[in-house]
Structures are given as C-alpha cells and as structure tokens.
Structure 1
Amino acid sequence: MRFKAAPSRDRLQLTAFKNPEFALFATAMFLGYLGLYIPFFYIQIYSSENSNITGELYFYLITIMNGAGLFGGLILGHLADIIGPFNAFCLSAGACGALVFGWIGISSEASILAFCILYGFFSSGLITIPATVVAVNLCPDIEQYGVRMTLQMVPAAIGLLVGNPIAGAILGHGWPALQAFAAVLIVSSAAFAMTARVINRDPKANQTFQQISYDTTDELGMNSLHLPKTWTRAAILIRINSLIKGVSAVRQIVVERLGDLLTHDIVPIIPLRDSISASGDHSPLSYIGEAIQGKPTIRIHTKDLNDVFAEEAFANKGISPVILDAKENLAFVNGTAVSTASAALALYDAHTLALLAQVITAMSVEALNGTLESFDAFFSLMRPHPGQTEAAKNIHSFLSGSKLTKINTGEGMTLRQDRCSIHTAPQWIGPVLEDFLLAHQQVQFSNRQPITKSVTSAMDKVRQGNCTIGRMLFAQSVEIINPATSRGMTPNLVLEDPSTSFIFKGTDISSAPLQAELRFLSTPMNHKQTAEMGNQSLNSLALISARYTHTSNDVLTQLMASQLIAVCQALDLRVMHIQFLENFRPEFEAVYHAFSSKFPGEVIGNITNQPALLEALWKQMVNSLETTVTLNAKDRFTAIAQACRATLLNSAFMYDSKTPVRSTEEFCGNLANAMLETWVAHREAYLIHGDATTYLGQGSASRAFAPRAPSQG
C-alpha cells in the first residue's frame, strides 16, 4: 500500500503580514523596541552629567528600573485579563512615551528616581504583554502560535539592535534630541498598536492562552449555538419529575444532585442542535448527566463572559459530584426532558398569545364600530364546538360595557353584518384553542424510553395555530387601516391631513412578511432522517419542532404588537370622532338658526314647522364625514357642507325664498368654516388630554399600556 506524502507546511507563514492588524502590530513592536531600551542604556550617563544625585545612587538606577518592572509585569498582566491585552499594551506604550517626554529637562534626584520607577513599571508591559496579544488576537490557530510570535519578535529584535546605536549618534546633538527621539518612537508604537486594536474589533478580549471564553449573553439571538438557560432549567425539573417515579432504577443521590443544579443555579450549557428525539434526547441529557458528575469539560451558564466549568462550580458551592453507577447513564439519557421542556415553554407562550388575539379582536370590533351579535351564545348552541364557544364567550365578555359597538338592525347600515375578519372570529379561533388544548395534553407525559412523536405533533399544531391566528389579525389590521373598510377612519390611521402623513402604511407593509413567515414556519416536522446506521430509523425531531415553535411565537408576537398599536390608534380616532360630533352639535345648530333667521316671518314659520330638516341636515353631515376621510381637512369640510346643499334646496320652505341659491351657498360656507375651526381645535385638545378609556369595553383595558401613536408620520 502506498501512502500519500504529508502535505508540506509553510513554516515561515509570511502571508500573516497580509493581515492588517498583524502587520500594524509588527510595526508597533519594531518602533517600540527601537526606543524602549534607550532610557535603560543612557539614564546613568544622563544622571551623572545633568542631575544632582548624591553619592553613587546613579549606579543603581537600572536596578531600580528592573525592580519596578517586576511589579509592573505582574500588575499589567493581570490588567490585561480585565481590559484585554491590546488595551493593556497601548496603555503601557502610551505611558512610556509620556514619561520619556517628561524626561526632557528633569535633573533633581527625586524626579530622576520617580522617572526610573514609573518607566520601569510601564516598560514591563511592552516586554511581557506582546506574547498574550499574539496568542489571543493575532493567532487564529493556536498551533501556529510559535511561528506567529517569532514573526512579531523579529522586527522587535531588529529595533532593539539598532535603536541604541542610532540614539548614540543623535546624542551628539544634545540630550533633548535623544530624549525626543525615544519618546516619538514609543508614542508611535502606541499609535500603531491602537490602530491594530481598532481593526481587530476586540476591545475587551478577556480570553486566555489555554481557553477561549464562550459567550452566553445572546442565548436567544439568531447566532446562538446553545439552548437558552430557561429551557435547560425546565428540562432538569422535568427529568427530576420522571426519575422520582422510581421506574428508571437511579439512586436518590442522583435526583438530589439534579435538585442541586436548580438550587445553586449550576446550569450546564447544552448545544442547540444535537438531538433527534428518538428513544430520548440523548445528547442534551448527557450534558446534564455529566454536569452532576462535576466533569471539568462541561461549561456552566454565568452572568458574564468568564468560563466556569462543572467541577469548579461544584467546588465553589461545596457540593460533592455524584458518580453514576452501571446503567444509570442509560437510564438518565433515555427520556424526553429537553424536548418536552422547550415544548412546554412554547405552549405556555402560545396560550398567552391566543388569549391576546381574542382581546385584540374585541378591540378591533370596537374600532370598526362592529356589533355584539356575532358573539351571541345562540350560535354556540347551534354549533356546539367547545373552542368556538369559549372564543365567543371571551370576546363577548371583553366587549362588555363598550360604547363603540352598535346594534345592527339593517336600517341605515351599509352592511347587514360585520366583515368576516371580526364576525367569524370565534369560528376561526375556536379550532386553534381546541388544538392547543390537545397539544397541552400531549406534552403532559413522562416516559422512560419514548418515541416523542407526541411532542412533535403538539408543536406542529401550535405553529399551525399561530399561522391561523396571524392570518385573522392581519385581515383585521388591513380593514382598520384601509379607509374603504374602516367605517370613517382616515387612510393609514393618520391624525393629520391624509396627504401629509402615511404613519401606519409601514405597519401594514411590515405585517405582510411576518404573516408569510408564520406560514413558512407552520410546515409540519415531517423531514425524518435515519440515524445510528439505521438503528433509529424512526425519530420525531421533537426538539427541532419545539425550537421552531418558539420562533413562530416570536414572529406572532411581533405581528400582534404591530396590530395592537394600530388598533389603539384606531380607537383614539374613533373616540375623537365621536367627541367631535358631540362638541360640534351646538355649533351646527347655531349656524342653522343664524341661516334661518334671515328669512321673512312667513318663511320662518315654515322652517319651524319642519323640525325634521335640522335632523336631516345633521344626518347628511355625519354620513359625509365617513365618505370624505381621504380629503384634507379644508377640502373635506367644504365637501361635507356642499353635500348638505341638495337636502336644503329640496326642503319646502326654500320655495318661498327669493334667493335660494345664494342663501344655500352662504349656509354651506358658514358650516364649512365652523366645522374646520371646531375640528382643528378639538384635534389639538385631544392630542394633549384625550382619553378613550371611558368608551371602551373591559378587554380594551390593555390599551392603557400601549404608547400613544405619534402625531406625525
């Protein structure tokens, strides 16, 4: 048999200098070491020529600098673990550069000693920290550390070799020239290192050479690779509940250690994707099993980025790990605790969202001036589906006490019944509630060695139910925002003139992809894959189904948030419209009586004998308010006033008027001006202290927790 030759290795790895931060830090090392040892080499000569140091103290200045460097190396090294090695190096180089600039002109014994101590302290950072910078920030593969460190030390060694001779040549121009030369070099080193740090984008790299910390702070984010801590805690609790039944042949001490994990918050980090949920969640449960044994390789959730492992966590709490006996390992991992835990948490959220959907539906009925008859108990008696009965009962209860719903007798109404998005809501939500109840029953089980298809089925039902609820809410939102179906509300629920703002058009647009994503996520988890070389040919993938159910809940929550804000705005607009009519009625009557007072006595008699005319004009004005919502205020109220023209001209008393057209136009102009003035004043007042709660039903109390929509789009 002929073996392939081992691949050749690039021992020099000069391609590392193509990395900007690596090249910049190499430049920083060259410049830093070019000037770093100039004070060490020349401080004794400078002191003997320019200072008032007594005796032979100047002979010990280098010893003093080296002694201070011993403490500096320890302290700055510890500081590097806190603020990051790059930051610590920049701090050391910057401090050394500042000290060398301060060296210019000092001559007293105290100042020389202070300079030596401080420079020796901070210069140790330039000597000891570069190794950590390379290991943590500039070495993607730790096996390349030796080569990478050598590539950094070569320019540093060159700088060290040529720095002092160059300084000796510069000394011929005086001590200030030498000191400035050294200071500029070290400050330049700090600048290059800082630039490399910015490019490296690692402002706080608190990793060590031996291990790299695992970030657990964004456990719910898209890039998380581990189960959320709450899921793991729930899994531990469910596993305890299963094992204490006594059918899995584990000792009491094992259950007690599981309880200690919860009591002392020692929660292991479990990979997000590892389980096929066939004869159990083997891989995730093995992490919990190894945690109670205090394995040094099992990471524990912490509140910061510091790594803590199970062995250390148990020692910190004074707890002795347990060693699993024969077959206890198998008994421990044969279970569905992880998938069941995540499913139970997802189902809890789904129940809450289903209830909130019924609250939002009740609010939508109010916003659309709907009727209670769609939720009457009669329909449940005729079609006794339990989910429909519960939904209708809940929505009817939420609408109790509302002043915005109407009794639709068909007289004077455009539609005999409300639109489908609200009047069929109980029939739409009902099956979802029944599915959620069945899912709840399916999740409530524990078994030693199950095929967890029940959990998968339950989660599939929840995702499909979320899609159904989202579709209903999306339809309600569209009808509220659309002026053609909103029964008198402005386009896009704008408070100002429709031509100046499109505030809720973005809500309508953003809701569409959310609903599309819900439909995508509602796909059943039927993508089975044979595992363990065919031994586990059937597996449920329950944990995957539960994970995507959490995602579905998140998407539906965002959709509901958008709908809730929109319906709260709609309720404000509806109540503002009602209060405007209440406030304008006296103004309307005043305009009418001012108009009628200009006619002769016999005509006035005809007017007063026709009380229905005033109500006919008022009804025409109210109806026109609903059909002119797309116009700006000035044009809108002019159009409303002109709509009253035909009613006025067709009245009997206008036949006695000598100038019916001129009188009618005068009335319409006065009415338009009065409406515009009252509307603007009322709108501004409502923005400041408007309150719709007295008009709302019991379920719409949630509106009090929603922010007021801004006045500008």
Structure 2
Amino acid sequence: MGSTFPERKYDIHHQWPTPHASQAVQSWRKFSTHIKTGIIHIDGQTLDLAAVVAIARNGVRLALSEDPSVIRRVEASVETLQAYLSKGYYLYGVNTGFGGSADTRTPDLYGLQRALMQLTQTAVLTQEDKTDSPSRHEYLESHSMPSAWTRAMTAIRCNANIRGHSAMTPNIVHSMIKLLDNDIVPIVPLRGSVSASGDLMPLSYLTGTIQGSPDVFVRVGGLKGVPRIMSAQQALNEFSIEPIVLGPKEGLSMINGTAAATAVASLGLYEANQLALVSQLLTALLSEALYANNEWAHPFIAAVRPHQGQIEAAQNIRTFLKGSRLSYGLERTKDRFSEGLAQERYALRSSPQWLSPQIEDLLSAEKQLVTELNSTSDNPVVNSEDNDIHCGANFQAAAVTSATEKVRLALQSIGKMLFSQVSEVINHDLSNGLPPNLAADDPSCSFCLKGLDIDTAAYTSELGFLANPVSNHVQSAEMHNQAINSLGLLSARQTMAAVECLSLIVANALYAGCQGVDLRTLHRTFIAGLEEPARQLVGGLFPDAHDLDRKERFFTTFWKKFEASWYDAALYDAAERSQKAAQSLVVAVFSNAQQIPIVLSVETVTSLAKSFETLILESYLRHRDEFFQNQTTPEYLGQGTKAIYLFVREKLGVPLHRGLVEHPVAGDKQGNMIDGRPKRTIGSWVSIIYAAVRDGSLYDEVFRFMEVTGGLSVAGGIHGPKAARNGLAGNGIH
C-alpha cells in the first residue's frame, strides 16, 4: 500500500488562507477609511463592526443612504400599519397592552406609547450619574453606560428602523441622527435589561431623549472634552431639535430591539479580534525571549490536522518570526543533537492548536453579530409587500448571547495561554537561561517582573470568572411572559470586562516579552563577543602552531560547556555567576586531558580558571553597560516581532528596565532621572503599553506590518510575496 500522505516539500513561507487575520485587517482598513471620510451612510443592509466602532468611539457622522428606496420602505411600512388599523384590527402594542397585559385594549393610541415609556423608564441612575460634579461616593461605580456604548446603540437602532418593517415615520430616525450629529448622548442605565422583548429599558432612555423628557438626562460634547450634563429637554432646546410625539407603534418600534446588546457586543468583538491577532505576535516574541525551538509552527503539522484556525495561527506566527535569529527549528537548521528539552513546553508548542478553535469561534461570532446589525428585531414586524403585520419574537437576542459567550471563552483561553508563556519567561527554572524575574542587574536584590507575574495571575483569574456563561442564569420575567430571555446585554457587558482583562494581560506580556528579548540578546551577544578572547586565553594549552585540529576540538567542547554553565548560573549575581561559569574550563581540561599536549598542574589549571573568571566578569560588566546604552536587539528579531518591539521602545518610549536603579524614591541622591528620562515604577511603564492597546495604536502598528509585508492570505486565493527559502543557519548568534 502507498503512503497515506503524498510526498511534498512544505515551504514554511507558503501563504495559506488566513480568514480571521484577513477579516481583522479588512475591518481595520474600513475603520481607517471611515475616520478619513468622516461619514457613514446606512441602508439597513450593510452596517459592520468597523462602522459601529467609528461612530461610537470617534464620532464619525451617520447619514441615511441616498438611495430613495430606503425612505420608500420606511413610508410603506407606516402606510401598511394605517391600513391595518383602518380595518378595526387589534394589533399588539398599538391598541393592546404590553407583554403579559396584552389582553387589554385601548383606543388611545398615543397615550399607549407614552404608557410604554412609563413602563420602561424604571432603572436606577444616581445623582452622580446625572451631574457633572465629582462623585461624593468614591466607592460607587457608574450606574450608566459609557457614551460610546450609547452612540453605538443609537446608530444600530437607526439602521434597524430604516429597514421598512417598523412602521416608524422617518422624522424619528432623523431625530436620532441629530443627536449623534450634535454629540448629545443619552445617559442610559447600565442594568435592568433582560434583552428579550428587546433591550426595552436602555432604548426607552434614548426614546425619552428624542421626546425631550425633562427627567431624562444627556451628556453633550463629550467627544471634544468634558461633557456638559443637562436634561433632554434642555439639550433639544439648545440645538433647536423638535421633540418627537410618538405615534401608533413608534414607541414600541424604538424599544423592541436588540440594539443595546448588539452595540456592546460589536465593540467588544472588534477589540477581541485584534487581541487574538496580537496574541499570536506575542507568542512569537515570547518564543524568541525563550530562544525556542519553533519546529511546532511548521506547516506540515497543521496540514495533517487541517483545522483552519490551527493552519492560520501557525502561519501567522511563522510570518512574525521570519528572519529571527533568536529562534530555530524553522528557518535555521534543526539541531538534531541538541541537549536539554527535546521540544518546547505546551504554552508555546501547542499554541496553534490552542488558538485554533478560538479563532474559528471569533469568526462565527462576527457572522452572527453582522447578521444582527442588519436585521429587524421589532415586534410586530410590518410586511409591506403582502400588506400584513406579523407578531413574533425577533427581539430575542439569543444570537447575541451566543456570540458573546463564544468571544468570552476565546478571550479566556487566549489569556490563559499568554499567562503561561509569561510565567515561563519570568521563571528562571523554565526560561532557558534568562535571569530570575527578568532582572537586568544582580538578581539577589532586584526582583523586577516578579510582581508582574502576580498581576498577570490576578487578571487571568478574573478573566476565567468572566468566561462563565450568562445564558444559564435566565430568570422568568414580566408575568412569566418573558419566561425565556437572552440576557444579551448582560453577556455583552461581561465580554467588555473580559476585553479589559485580556488587554491588561497583553500589556504585561508585551512588556515582559520586550524585556526578555533584550536580555536574551544581551547574553547571547556577550557570549559571542567573549569567544575570541577566551580562545586566545586557552590557546597556550596548545603551543604547537600546527596542532590546529586538536586545539579546535578542545575549544568547541569547552565552549559548549561554558555556554551551558553560563545559562545554568543565571540565578546568581554577576561575580558569582562568572566564578561558576569559569569552572567549565576546569571541567573541560580534566575531561579532555589526553588531547592536551602539555602536562598541567592543578595550580596551573586553577590559575587559568581564575584568569578566565576575571575575563568573564570584566567583559560581561562592560558589555552590559554598553548594551544598556544601545540595545542591538532589533537586529536579531523576526520581521513582525521587530515591528512591535520598536513600537514599544521607540514610539511609546518604554525602555529596557535596568533593575533596582530604575525605581523612583524620594530624596534619591542620584536624582530621579536616568539617561535624561524620568524613573518610573514598572506599573507606570506597563500602563503606557496598556493605553496603546485600548486606544488602538498598537493594532495600527500590527496591521500596517501585515499590509506592508504581504503577510496575509485571504480565503480563496494566495496573496503576497512567496518568499524563497534562505539558509540562515550560521547567520546569527549561537
């Protein structure tokens, strides 16, 4: 029988489809385009995550599509409703009561819509939420939604209501657009929605705003600075916006819908997609810090277990590592006689397999949410084509809950992986020779990133708690009418909290990764620079100038022992480390005495080892000082890891941490400056990275790299340069 697998040479630079990364980059491109154009036209069919984020966070304007069919659809739905009522029909929420009270009837169609607002504007906002004065209660967190969430909710509701199924007059949509245009943001209670019958409570405060309610409050001008807080009535007066009087069904059309849950879910997923891609880049960076054997990212491994997410993760990591001189097993010749671990531990080695279902779930979640963004979630829904109206439950946001629970589980898994990798880099027992706690100075009195390890554990624990499902906590609501409800907004809120926790972990991982590759480069370049002086030092053991072969064999054996002993002694201060590493020469001399042509006394060997110890210590301290002034790390990194390293070191100005000398203290005799920059706590440096994660500037750097290098391939085709194999063995530091 023939082989199960055809014979094939796997080019490690072959561009396989990368649907998740491609989709994330495409969304980033759209977002950038929206920012440049400054306006987004909606038609009820084509809203996406990038547009929601641009409106919510950057205040990009919203406008109706210029296609006349959009307004025709809206007007047709109103006409269908009027025709329906003219026949004397009863219609839920138009001339009947609501929910479990739907067995009541009323001829007061306008009063009924006001009653609906009375029913739903019932959640808690404290006085601190409704004033621009500082809170008197520091222990109280906000009871209102962030403004970005509310702007997103408003945009999504506009998009749903223009689909022509709501029987809502166009002036209501225009009023919501005017709110966005004038940066008038309703103050919406954070809690109180079960997201079935839609997000009734949150959307009722948006409705109260366009009604000009004197007891609904808004933030005005928050995009440009500190917002002013006033009543909706005052805001509409100030901006000459006519208050809305809700006609038949229009209150119900405003609040029956999934806009709040979908808004928060969309903002969370947009960041989750970016975090997922950055986690692959961080895996590459941390593998370089560990000087890892990255054979596990070889395309053959994924090809024989062809889950799309695994194929993509492995390819992305290879792309980020291309050209790296701090890893081996892919571009560099594999060492089949290496000592130590024969393969990397799980946190690195199984990262493509671990990330695979997370990537696939994020793609699935985005498909669900984009569908929801362009759906009608009203009840009843107007069918103008058949002149009929149907009662159903499109407001049931189970699809949103399904999406956000997948997202949270993905975020938790990614966070656990990064925590494991960071712990491995910080722990000298696992880090392949890096100093304890990634201390650049003597580790006996400098604990550098030990606290970071603890912080990351705390964030990971919280992330694990947040990953728990929300959907299994459903309670029957509203006279048992809402016996099953999605809790979509609650799930989306927990997802945003998970985004924050993973962002903290990513900031820690990036700080630790940059520190790790700096120290790896420091020590490997030190060893490379020491090699020739050491060769000259031991050259006297072979006085015969023609005895080159034996001399080289001895030195090769000795140097391997020295390298191993240098990294094995990483937990010691420089002087003691040098002493222990120098003993490698003694071991090499006595274990290879038959190769040495001269007779050596114990005293001679001891003296030679002492000279070697002095050479090591002096060379190391000199090299370390030079490295502190000029890190050569970028020369040894992969193309992707180099980009993110330079972003941290140059654009953000976060430096290599030199140890205890960096810590700011009052009355420091040397001053709280170092090389012209202020001394900061480690937390302050990490906070700068965290801010770059949350404001998107980190992702801008990553996505620009992906575009420039052609490191992406989309489903259905291969794109970007197919790099030729280049033998890099012997091209780096060993």
Give TM-score, length-normalised by structure 1.
0.67
Q: Tell me the CA shift for residue 543 of structure 1.
A: 0.6
Residue 363 of structure 1 pairs with residue 305 of structure 2? no
Deviations 1:353-392 (A, max 9, x none): 1111111101111111123321122122211111111111
Secondary structure, in 3 states, of the residue corresponding to 1:404? coil
Cα pair 2:128 2:134 within 8 Å, conserved: no
Secondary structure, in 3 states, of the residue corresponding to 1:308? strand
Secondary structure, in 3 states, of the residue corresponding to 1:415? coil
CA–CA distance in 1 between the matches of 2:239 and 2:400?
A: 36
Code of the residue aligned with 2:619 in structure 1: it is: T
Q: Which of 564, 575, 585 in structure 1 is aligned with 2:510?
A: 564
Q: CA distance change for structure 1 residues 405 and 211 in 2, over 3 Å: closer, same or farther?
A: closer
Cα pair 2:427 2:437 within 8 Å, conserved: yes
Larger Rg: 1
Q: What's 1:710 paired with?
A: 657
Q: Which of 153, 174, 198 in structure 2 is aligned with 1:256?
A: 174
Structure 2's unaligned 5+ residue stretches are 1-126, 379-393, 649-653, 661-734
Q: Tell me the CA shift for residue 596 of structure 1.
A: 4.7
Choose 560-569 or 698-707, whichever is displaced more. Answer: 698-707
Q: What's 2:302 paired with?
A: 380
Residue 295 of structure 1 pairs with residue 213 of structure 2? yes
Q: Tell me the CA shift for residue 557 of structure 1.
A: 0.9
CA–CA distance in 2 between the matches of 1:395 and 1:607?
A: 43
CA–CA distance in 1 between the matches of 2:300 and 2:140?
A: 47
Q: CA distance change for structure 1 residues 330 and 669 in 2, over 3 Å: closer, same or farther?
A: same
Q: What's 1:697 paired with?
A: 638
Cα pair 2:129 2:144 within 8 Å, conserved: no
Q: Tell me the CA shift for residue 428 of structure 1.
A: 0.3
Q: Which of 410, 414, 417 in structure 1 is aligned with 2:343?
A: 417
Residue 612 of structure 1 pairs with residue 538 of structure 2? no
Q: What's 2:693 paired with?
A: none
CA–CA distance in 2 between the matches of 1:388 and 1:650?
A: 47
Secondary structure, in 3 states, of the residue corresponding to 1:427? helix
Residue 343 of structure 1 pairs with residue 279 of structure 2? no
Q: What's 2:441 paired with?
A: 496
Residue 668 of structure 1 pairs with residue 609 of structure 2? yes
Structure 1's unaligned 5+ residue stretches are 1-209
Q: Which of 475, 499, 524 in structure 2 is aligned with 1:529?
A: 475
Cα pair 1:575 1:695 within 8 Å, conserved: yes
Q: What's 2:712 paired with?
A: none
Q: What's 1:267 paired with?
A: 185
Q: Tell me the CA shift for residue 655 of structure 1.
A: 6.9
Q: Tell me the CA shift for residue 342 of structure 1.
A: 0.5
Code of the residue aligned with 1:461 in structure 2: it is: K
CA–CA distance in 2 between the matches of 1:627 and 1:437?
A: 44
Q: Tell me the CA shift for residue 223 of structure 1.
A: 0.4
Q: Aligned ranges for residues 420-431 of structure 1 at < 5 Å?
A: 420-431=346-357
Q: Aligned ranges for residues 268-283 of structure 1 at < 5 Å?
A: 268-283=186-201
Q: Which of 396, 413, 419 in structure 2 is aligned with 1:468?
A: 413
CA–CA distance in 2 between the matches of 1:216 and 1:595?
A: 81
Code of the residue aligned with 1:467 in structure 2: it is: Q
Secondary structure, in 3 states, of the residue corresponding to 1:531? coil
Deviations 1:570-599 (A, max 9, x none): 1000111121122112211221235555xx
CA–CA distance in 1 between the matches of 2:599 and 2:542?
A: 14
Cα pair 1:654 1:660 within 8 Å, conserved: no
Secondary structure, in 3 states, of the residue corresponding to 2:518? helix
Secondary structure, in 3 states, of the residue corresponding to 2:469? coil
Residue 508 of structure 1 pairs with residue 434 of structure 2? no
Q: What's 1:91 paired with?
A: none
Residue 214 of structure 1 pairs with residue 131 of structure 2? yes
Cα pair 2:541 2:598 within 8 Å, conserved: no
Deviations 1:28-55 (A, max 9, x none): xxxxxxxxxxxxxxxxxxxxxxxxxxxx
Give TM-score, length-normalised by structure 2.
0.65
Q: Tell me the CA shift for residue 412 of structure 1.
A: 2.1
Q: CA distance change for structure 1 residues 653 and 386 in 2, over 3 Å: closer, same or farther?
A: closer
By relative contact order (CA 8 Å, sep 6+), the higher-ranking structure is 2
Q: Tell me the CA shift for residue 610 of structure 1.
A: 3.6
CA–CA distance in 2 between the matches of 1:362 and 1:607?
A: 41
Deviations 1:108-166 (A, max 9, x none): xxxxxxxxxxxxxxxxxxxxxxxxxxxxxxxxxxxxxxxxxxxxxxxxxxxxxxxxxxx
Cα pair 1:285 1:338 within 8 Å, conserved: yes
CA–CA distance in 2 between the matches of 1:212 and 1:465?
A: 33
Deviations 1:380-423 (A, max 9, x none): 22111111111111111111111111134331231222111111
Choose 457-466 or 610-619, whichever is displaced more. Answer: 610-619
Q: CA distance change for structure 1 residues 212 and 475 in 2, over 3 Å: closer, same or farther?
A: closer
Q: What's 2:365 paired with?
A: 439
Q: Tell me the CA shift for residue 213 of structure 1.
A: 5.2
Q: Tell me the CA shift for residue 650 of structure 1.
A: 3.5
Structure with more helix by fraction: 1
Code of the residue aligned with 2:559 in structure 1: it is: W
Q: Which of 309, 319, 327 in structure 2 is aligned with 1:405?
A: 327
Cα pair 1:492 1:502 within 8 Å, conserved: yes
CA–CA distance in 2 between the matches of 1:224 and 1:565?
A: 31
Code of the residue aligned with 2:247 in structure 1: it is: D
CA–CA distance in 1 between the matches of 2:134 and 2:352?
A: 41
CA–CA distance in 2 between the matches of 1:212 and 1:268?
A: 11
Count of matched residue pairs: 499
Code of the residue aligned with 1:576 in structure 2: it is: L
Code of the residue aligned with 2:404 in structure 1: it is: M
Cα pair 2:542 2:596 within 8 Å, conserved: no
Q: Which of 232, 237, 252 in structure 1 is aligned with 2:155?
A: 237
Code of the residue aligned with 2:481 in structure 1: it is: N
Q: Tell me the CA shift for residue 611 of structure 1.
A: 2.6
Cα pair 1:409 1:416 within 8 Å, conserved: no
Q: What's 2:519 paired with?
A: 573
Code of the residue aligned with 1:548 in structure 2: it is: Q
CA–CA distance in 1 between the matches of 2:175 and 2:534?
A: 79
Q: Tell me the CA shift for residue 471 of structure 1.
A: 0.9
Choose 441-450 or 465-474, whichever is displaced more. Answer: 441-450
Q: What's 1:106 paired with?
A: none
Secondary structure, in 3 states, of the residue corresponding to 1:231? helix
Q: What's 1:550 paired with?
A: 496
Q: What's 1:141 paired with?
A: none
Cα pair 1:213 1:307 within 8 Å, conserved: yes
CA–CA distance in 2 between the matches of 1:591 and 1:566?
A: 37
CA–CA distance in 1 between the matches of 2:275 and 2:621?
A: 39
